[in-house]
Chains A and B, each alone.
Chain A
Amino acid sequence: MLAATLAGLAAMPLPAIGREGVQFGLTAVVVRENIAFFERWGRYLSERLGRPVIFVRRRSYREIMELLETGELDFAWICGYPFVRRREPEYLDLVAVPIFEGAPLYRSYVIVHRDSTIRSLEDLKGKVFAYSDPDSNSGYLVPRATLARIRLSPDALFRISFFTYNHAETVEAVANRVADAGAVDSYVWEYLHRTNPALTARTRILHRSETFGFPPIVGRRGGDKGINAAMRAALLTMHEDADGKSLLAQLALDGFGAYEPSLFDEIRQLARRLSDPAVR
């Protein structure tokens, strides 16, 4: 009887909300709020994979990582920092790395308000600072490591710090002067700079970090082997067809590439330097 009910539901044109098809998790490394774009990309990938691809959004990186670990998600676009964390046993495969401005690299920006009197990182003393996510490389790890390098303790330095769990909202928090400064993914900032220049115009980049491996797309290891390969193939060849090209253009990316996990060694070193016990 239950089976009959399910079959009846399946026959309906609008499927009920539930786990169906390929689950693709999204984190704040991209501007997740662009619903129309992700619907289009989902349709594109569904076609390429021959299976429906559903994008799944969660507030924090940690939630996405947990869903990957429990198998709720098949793929996710995550940050390099959670990627370099130790997993026993390893349950992730590196599927593809986006290529941004010619390389699979990005930076961390420390931004302040356009009219702010802050001229250097030292000026951040006693200010309000916005991190994006405690598991973010560019929005947490890099600024803290940068400050530590110039012998400033981030926890003692700021009057208040808070997490926005979203790079785009970090830009907003600084633009609205809720925070005096914030750490943001350079890719997100540049993306917003193109799509919402009025917002980024209210901010100023105080500090640019060195480059790091771009937030990668990972797949669950031990799942359907074929699907990981199919996804990699679909992503790596996106730039070869017009539809994929236009999608990449909307993402402000050149394409996707296949890289070794060593691409994220700099992040690993950084985490190690900040004595993150979860990093090998």
Chain B
Amino acid sequence: MRLLSPRGWSLSLKLPVTITAVVAGVALTIGLAVLVQERARIRAELEERALLTARAVAATAVEPMLRSDYWTLYKSLVSMASGGEASGEDLVVTGMVLDSAGRVLAHLDPAANPLGLPLSLAEPEDRLWLAAVLRQDRPAISPGRRGKSDYVEALAPVLANDAPLGLVILRLSTQDLQARTVAAGLTILGLTAALAAIGSGLGTLISGRMVRPLRELAAGMESVGRGELHGLPPLTAHDRDEIGQVIDTFNRMAAELAEKKKLEQALATSEKLAALGRIAAGVAHEVNNPLAGMLNCLDTLKKRPDDASLHGRYLPLIERGLNRIQAIVHALLVELRTEGDESWDTGACLDDVRDLLQSEIGARPIRLIWDNAIGPDLCIPCRRVQQVVLNLLKNAIQAIPDSGMVIFRAYGGAGREVVLEVEDDGVGIAADALTHLFDPFYTSRPTGTGLGLWITYRLVESMRGVIEVESEPEKGSLFRVRLPAYATAPATAWGAA
């Protein structure tokens, strides 16, 4: 089907086909025009020759006819009709000299047309023809037969002092004309074919020159599209035409893109370092806050070691502070923990998270809807995904002020991917908070570390997935994670993101 539609054709086919068609069309048109003209010319020539011969016979026929010298009449008819060498014997179909009543005075076929008898005509149509031609008073090509029969008929009256003695009828075959037309037609066809072949060769050559740089350009653009900007050699422009200009522009664009990517990478590196700095500062700040309180407590306890009332007041404070530090450290360690030994399993391993969550919900009036539809044909890295799901679900539960609903959905998406959705009808996220949602130590809760979603983001990234958020304040939020899925565990473990 693709071959039938010219829109689907490659340029390297379209161009030669077009050139061939144009060349062949032009050659054929000109050839046919010449053929038609040539045919008309040859026919006119034939008619002229027939007429000339008939007139010559008529001129020489006067004397023999007046003298009843039928032998001389016959001889002159034969010699004139057979004409020169070039005319050929096949050319003359028939020739005759009739008297004014239509009796044969000489005929090129004397055996069938006896001397002195009326011309034998079987068909009534022929008798009508004879009656018509006998009225002919001037040399002429028989009009009724023009173009109709396979011969040209010339009529020449034999006149003695303008008195009609009889009529010369000469028919020349048009078979030679047909043969010459056919031969000329074949020559034209041959020429057309030859020109078409040359045209298609030329077209192939030109299209080759045009298509090769275009293909290179397409390949180059594809590389750019994939982001493979390095190691892309500049394309060579062979001609200074439009294609050459496109190649130059492309080369410039690719060079600029490569430059831009380099800058971006440098920028990313510095951003990473800045982020690391921010994290370190955050950790220091977060750890430092409880530390100051705890050191105060310890100082007071050291001063008054026997004051039991202080124990009851300060020890829980110290414990809370240490717990907070532990939580921060745990959160920071999550990433390290999950790297290395990864356990690959089917989606069913996510159901373990459900039990953990029930204890998180406790007695709160929160409804958890669990819909894990990942089939056994898909394979996921369990621990990381569990961590991601747990983090998101915990956030969802925390986002619900009193009572509400949390929905977890997991399914195999389009292609080889796994989609995880966590939806709640909680407080939602403010628009300006959305932009900082995944920043480390960004939190909207007073007790939060601000590391949960950052870690989730890092985990998703480490699995080459993406995370999306849809949220409306006071209505709820939807977190959607898309992960590549595998039928079996991949041979190479993911490196650190």
Residue ranges of A at the interface with B (Cβ–Cβ < 8 Å): 113, 128, 130, 159-160, 162-165, 169, 173, 176-180
Known: A128-B114, A160-B115, A177-B114. 17 other contacts (CB 8 A): A113-B111, A128-B70, A128-B115, A130-B71, A159-B116, A159-B117, A160-B68, A169-B71, A173-B71, A173-B74, A176-B74, A176-B111, A178-B71, A178-B106, A178-B110, A179-B71, A180-B114
Q: Is the CB of A177 within 8 A of B110?
A: yes
Residue of B nearest to A165 (CB): B71
Residue of B nearest to A127 (CB): B114
For residue B126, CB closer than 8 A to chain A, the reply is no
Q: Is the CB of A163 within 8 A of B71?
A: yes
What are the residues of chain A within 8 A of B106 when measuring CB–CB?
Answer: 178
Residue of A nearest to B73 (CB): A162
What are the residues of chain B within 8 A of A164 when measuring CB–CB?
Answer: 71
Convert B57-85 into 0s and 1s, putting 1 for each residue whose CB lies closer than 8 angstroms to a CB of A: 00000000000111100110000000000
Convert B32-76 into 0s and 1s, putting 1 for each residue whose CB lies closer than 8 angstroms to a CB of A: 000000000000000000000000000000000000111100110
Q: Is the CB of A177 within 8 A of B111?
A: yes
Question: Given the complex of chains A and B, what is the CA–CA distance between A173 and B73 in angstroms?
Answer: 12
Best-buried of A113, A164, A173, A178 by chain B (most CB within 10 Å): A178
Residue of B nearest to A177 (CB): B111
Question: Given the complex of chains A and B, what is the CA–CA distance between A162 and B106 in angstroms?
Answer: 12
Question: Given the complex of chains A and B, what is the CA–CA distance between A180 and B116 in angstroms?
Answer: 12
Question: Given the complex of chains A and B, what is the CA–CA distance between A179 and B73 in angstroms?
Answer: 13
Residue of B nearest to A131 (CB): B71
What are 19 inter-chain pairs, A to B, with CB distance below 8 A? A113-B111, A128-B115, A128-B116, A130-B71, A159-B116, A159-B117, A162-B70, A163-B69, A163-B71, A164-B71, A169-B71, A169-B75, A173-B71, A177-B110, A177-B111, A177-B114, A178-B71, A178-B110, A178-B115
What are the residues of chain A within 8 A of B70 when measuring CB–CB?
Answer: 128, 160, 162, 178
What are the residues of chain B within 8 A of A162 when measuring CB–CB?
Answer: 68-71
Residue of A nearest to B117 (CB): A159
Question: Given the complex of chains A and B, what is the CA–CA distance between A173 and B115 in angstroms?
Answer: 11
Question: Given the complex of chains A and B, what is the CA–CA distance between A210 and B69 in angstroms?
Answer: 29
Q: Tell me the minimal C-beta distance from B217 to chain A in angstroms.
A: 83
CB contacts under 8 Å to A, within B94-145, are 106, 110-111, 114-117
What are the residues of chain B within 8 A of A179 when measuring CB–CB?
Answer: 71, 115
Residue of B nearest to A180 (CB): B114
What are the residues of chain A within 8 A of B68 when measuring CB–CB?
Answer: 160, 162
Q: Is the CB of A160 within 8 A of B110?
A: no
What are the residues of chain A within 8 A of B71 when measuring CB–CB?
Answer: 130, 162-165, 169, 173, 178-179
Question: Given the complex of chains A and B, what is the CA–CA distance between A163 and B70 in angstroms?
Answer: 8
Question: Given the complex of chains A and B, what is the CA–CA distance between A180 and B110 in angstroms?
Answer: 10
Question: Given the complex of chains A and B, what is the CA–CA distance between A164 and B68 in angstroms?
Answer: 11
Question: Given the complex of chains A and B, what is the CA–CA distance between A163 and B69 in angstroms?
Answer: 7
What are the residues of chain B within 8 A of A176 when measuring CB–CB?
Answer: 74, 110-111
Question: Given the complex of chains A and B, what is the CA–CA distance between A159 and B111 in angstroms?
Answer: 16
Best-buried of B106, B110, B111 by chain A (most CB within 10 Å): B110
Question: Given the complex of chains A and B, what is the CA–CA distance between A162 and B117 in angstroms?
Answer: 15
CB contacts under 8 Å to A, within B201-226, are none
Best-buried of A113, A162, A165, A169 by chain B (most CB within 10 Å): A162
What are the residues of chain A within 8 A of B111 when measuring CB–CB?
Answer: 113, 176-177
Residue of A nearest to B64 (CB): A162
Q: Tell me the minimal C-beta distance from A229 to chain B in angstroms.
A: 40
What are the residues of chain A within 8 A of B116 when measuring CB–CB?
Answer: 128, 159-160
CB-based closest 7 A-B pairs: A177-B111, A178-B110, A160-B116, A162-B70, A164-B71, A177-B110, A128-B115
Best-buried of B71, B111, B115 by chain A (most CB within 10 Å): B71
What are the residues of chain B within 8 A of A160 when measuring CB–CB?
Answer: 68, 70, 115-116
Residue of A nearest to B70 (CB): A162
Residue of B nearest to A128 (CB): B115
What are the residues of chain B within 8 A of A159 when measuring CB–CB?
Answer: 115-117
Question: Given the complex of chains A and B, what is the CA–CA distance between A55 and B404 in angstroms?
Answer: 148
What are the residues of chain B within 8 A of A177 when measuring CB–CB?
Answer: 110-111, 114
Convert B441-471 into 0s and 1s, putting 1 for each residue whose CB lies closer than 8 angstroms to a CB of A: 0000000000000000000000000000000
Q: Tell me the minimal C-beta distance from B158 to chain A in angstroms.
A: 17
What are the residues of chain A within 8 A of B117 when measuring CB–CB?
Answer: 159
Question: Given the complex of chains A and B, what is the CA–CA distance between A162 and B71 in angstroms?
Answer: 7
Question: Given the complex of chains A and B, what is the CA–CA distance between A103 and B282 in angstroms?
Answer: 159
What are the residues of chain B within 8 A of A128 when measuring CB–CB?
Answer: 70, 114-116
What are the residues of chain B within 8 A of A165 when measuring CB–CB?
Answer: 71
Q: Is the CB of B69 within 8 A of A178?
A: no
Q: Tell me the minimal C-beta distance from B98 to chain A in angstroms.
A: 14
What are the residues of chain A within 8 A of B110 when measuring CB–CB?
Answer: 176-178
Q: Tell me the minimal C-beta distance from B102 to chain A in angstroms.
A: 16
Question: Given the complex of chains A and B, what is the CA–CA distance between A179 and B115 in angstroms?
Answer: 8
Question: Given the complex of chains A and B, what is the CA–CA distance between A165 and B114 in angstroms?
Answer: 21
What are the residues of chain B within 8 A of A130 when measuring CB–CB?
Answer: 71
Best-buried of B69, B75, B106, B115 by chain A (most CB within 10 Å): B115
Question: Given the complex of chains A and B, what is the CA–CA distance between A176 and B314 in angstroms?
Answer: 155
Residue of B nearest to A130 (CB): B71
Residue of A nearest to B105 (CB): A160
Question: Given the complex of chains A and B, what is the CA–CA distance between A176 and B107 in angstroms?
Answer: 11
What are the residues of chain B within 8 A of A180 when measuring CB–CB?
Answer: 114
Q: Tell me the minimal C-beta distance from B80 to chain A in angstroms.
A: 16
Question: Given the complex of chains A and B, what is the CA–CA distance between A257 and B117 in angstroms?
Answer: 48
Question: Given the complex of chains A and B, what is the CA–CA distance between A179 and B116 in angstroms?
Answer: 11
What are the residues of chain B within 8 A of A173 when measuring CB–CB?
Answer: 71, 74
Question: Given the complex of chains A and B, what is the CA–CA distance between A177 and B115 in angstroms?
Answer: 9
Question: Given the complex of chains A and B, what is the CA–CA distance between A159 and B114 in angstroms?
Answer: 11
Residue of A nearest to B108 (CB): A176
Question: Given the complex of chains A and B, what is the CA–CA distance between A263 and B118 in angstroms?
Answer: 46
Question: Given the complex of chains A and B, what is the CA–CA distance between A53 and B43 in angstroms?
Answer: 52
Q: Tell me the minimal C-beta distance from B110 to chain A in angstroms.
A: 4
What are the residues of chain B within 8 A of A163 when measuring CB–CB?
Answer: 69, 71
Question: Given the complex of chains A and B, what is the CA–CA distance between A165 and B134 in angstroms?
Answer: 31
What are the residues of chain B within 8 A of A113 when measuring CB–CB?
Answer: 111
Question: Given the complex of chains A and B, what is the CA–CA distance between A163 and B74 in angstroms?
Answer: 12
Question: Given the complex of chains A and B, what is the CA–CA distance between A173 and B111 in angstroms?
Answer: 11
Question: Given the complex of chains A and B, what is the CA–CA distance between A162 and B68 in angstroms?
Answer: 7
